[in-house]
């Protein structure tokens, strides 16, 4: 995997809208400006927004080819050092016919987002370029009142540093509270935080296991099975699979069916471990745990496969960053997750 160059203060980053166009809606534009301001003031970056990113929901829905055009232009522009997604959505998969993997491979740079952006991450993985499952503009950078320090620290350590090792620790506070984005006054109100009662949990497995990270949003991964960006079976060899559930609150049986599909494909027999994000609102928290043990431990007969649960890589806030294709380690005894190599160069 090709690693992109680290960011430094003064670098230019580009904002793209690859799925939802809500960033360009008049009722939400203040949220966009908040995120831009944070990139400039907290991280010292210069920001440009790609030509179609603020054209709104209807226009971007009707023009997936222009969303893809923005992405390709951002990769080709040598003055741009990183690409950050405005937000997720539900139809990034419609960009597939317009992607030039050679352009991505020949112009590696930091690319970050999550949720429906899982599709884009798998595009970069196909191109052989490391990408970053992490904060997007309209959510984490535009967080109510101020950004979470946990997320700021993750960004600085992962994207601005070439450190050879980084522990992804559990945050001691979290929130899923939603304050209406359409009300600008809510930007002044911090969301209510809850104390972390569980921390990391090991559902099964012992010892330490290593593997390169590969995964994303469970509901989105279901969409791309069988497409050109779905990794071939041998690509899953010795990987650490990470999964998170989105704001659609998938029912436990839906998670069960997806896991059974991975078993049927032979993927569960290939991987070295699984990392599971904290469920939104902690809904189905225990039910999901039971499903993983049932399908992986019992049905697939892999009770040895380590499963690390309740990681801050999901739709709850704050969020960490997980780099695709980079070596990581699950330590079952210490309940630790560590990135074992630099993700940028």
CA pair distance 161, 273, nearest whole angstrom: 26
Of the pLDDT bands very low, low, confident and very high (cuts 50, 70, 90), residue 247 is: confident
Q: Compute the mean pLDDT over every residue in the chain, rounded to the nearest whole number.
A: 97
Q: How far apart are the first and last CA of the chain?
A: 12
Work out the pLDDT band at 244, boundaries 50, 70, 90.
Answer: very high
Q: Is the pLDDT of residue 209 over 90?
A: yes
Are residues 123 and 183 both part of a single domain?
A: no
Indicate if the pLDDT at residue 50 is higher than 90. yes
> Which of 163, 198, 224 is the C-terminal boundary of a domain?
163
185 CB contacts (<8 Å, ≥6 apart)? none
Which pLDDT band holds residue 313 (cuts at 50, 70, 90)? very high
Mean pLDDT of 12-40: 97
pLDDT digits (tens, 9 = 90+) for 91-143: 999 999 999 999 999 999 999 999 999 999 999 999 999 999 999 999 999 99
**Are the C-beta atoms of 323 and 130 separated by less than 8 Å?**
yes
* Residue range 239-252: mean pLDDT, rounded: 94
The number of domains in the chain is 2
- What does the buried/exposed string (b/e) look like for 232-266 if buried means 16 or more CB atoms within 10 Å of the residue's CB? eeeebeebbbbbbbbeeebebebbbebbeebbeee
The answer to whether residue 20 sits within a structural domain is yes
DSSP 190: P
Q: What is the mean pLDDT of residues 237-243?
A: 98
Maximum distance among all Cα pairs of the chain, rounded to whole angstroms: 53
Predicted confidence at residue 288, as pLDDT, reads 98
Task: Choose among 112, 88, 116: nearest CA to 320.
Answer: 112
> How far is the CA of 235 from the CAs of 144, 215, 239, 278, 322, in angstroms?
39, 12, 8, 26, 18
Interval 138-183: pLDDT, tens = 999 999 999 999 999 999 999 999 989 999 999 999 999 999 999 9
Q: Are strands 336-339 and 166-167 parallel, antiparallel or unpaired?
A: antiparallel
Would you state the pLDDT for residue 246? Answer: 87
Q: Which of 343, 340, 334, 286 is nearest to 170 (CA)?
A: 334
pTM, entire model: 0.97
At 301, list the tokens.
């007969």
Q: Are residues 226 and 322 in the same domain?
A: yes
| Percent of the residues in the chain that have a pLDDT greater than 70, as a whole number | 100
Q: Is residue 121 part of a domain?
A: yes
Based on the domain organization, do 271 and 137 belong to the same domain? no
Q: Where are the beta strands (DSSP E) in the chain?
A: 12-16, 46-49, 80-85, 110-113, 132-133, 166-167, 173-174, 194-195, 201-204, 208-217, 240-244, 273-277, 307-311, 322-323, 327-331, 336-339
- 303 domain-assigned: yes
- 68-94 pLDDT, tens digit per residue, is 999 999 999 999 999 999 999 999 999
Let me know whether 38 and 183 are in one domain: no
Q: Is residue 140 part of a domain?
A: yes
Residues 231 and 323 in one domain: yes
> Which residue has 């209510």 as its token pair?
192
Contact 86, 32 (CB under 8 A): yes
Distance CA 147, CA 170 (A): 17
Average pLDDT over residues 18-45: 97
CA–CA separation, 111 and 273 (whole Å): 25
Q: What is the pLDDT of residue 233?
A: 98
Q: Which domain holds residue 245?
A: 173-339
Do 200 and 272 sit in the same domain of this protein?
yes
């Amino acid at each position: 995997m090709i690693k992109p160059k680290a960011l430094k203060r003064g670098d230019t980053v580009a904002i793209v809208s690859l799925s939802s166009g809500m960033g360009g809606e008049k009722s939400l534009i203040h949220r966009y400006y908040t995120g831009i301001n944070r990139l400039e003031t907290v991280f010292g970056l210069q920001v440009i927004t790609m030509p179609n990113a603020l054209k709104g929901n209807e226009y971007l829905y009707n023009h997936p080819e222009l969303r893809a055009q923005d992405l390709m232009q951002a990769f080709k522009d040598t003055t741009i050092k990183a690409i950050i997604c405005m937000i997720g959505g539900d139809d990034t998969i419609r960009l597939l016919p317009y992607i030039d993997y050679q352009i991505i491979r020949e112009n590696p740079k930091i690319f970050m987002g999550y949720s429906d952006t899982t599709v884009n991450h798998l595009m970069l993985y196909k191109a052989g370029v490391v990408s970053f499952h992490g904060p997007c503009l309209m959510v984490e950078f535009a967080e109510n009142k101020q950004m979470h320090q946990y997320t700021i620290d993750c960004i600085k350590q992962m994207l601005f540093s070439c450190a050879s090792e980084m522990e992804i620790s559990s945050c001691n506070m979290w929130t899923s509270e939603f304050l209406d984005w359409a009300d600008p006054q809510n930007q002044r109100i911090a969301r209510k935080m809850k104390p972390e009662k569980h921390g990391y949990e090991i559902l099964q497995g012992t010892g330490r296991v290593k593997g390169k990270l590969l995964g994303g949003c469970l509901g989105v991964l279901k969409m791309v099975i069988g497409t050109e960006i779905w990794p071939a079976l041998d690509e899953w060899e010795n990987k650490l699979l990470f999964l998170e559930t989105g704001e659609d609150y998938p029912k436990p049986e839906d998670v069960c069916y997806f896991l059974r599909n991975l078993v049927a494909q032979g993927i569960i027999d290939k991987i070295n471990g699984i990392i599971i994000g904290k469920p939104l609102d902690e809904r189905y928290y225990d039910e999901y745990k039971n499903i993983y043990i049932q399908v992986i431990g019992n049905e697939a007969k892999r009770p040895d496969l380590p499963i690390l649960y309740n990681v801050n890589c999901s739709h709850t806030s704050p969020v960490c960053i997980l780099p695709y294709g980079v070596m990581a380690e699950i330590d079952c005894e210490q309940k630790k997750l560590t990135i074992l190599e630099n993700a940028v160069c």
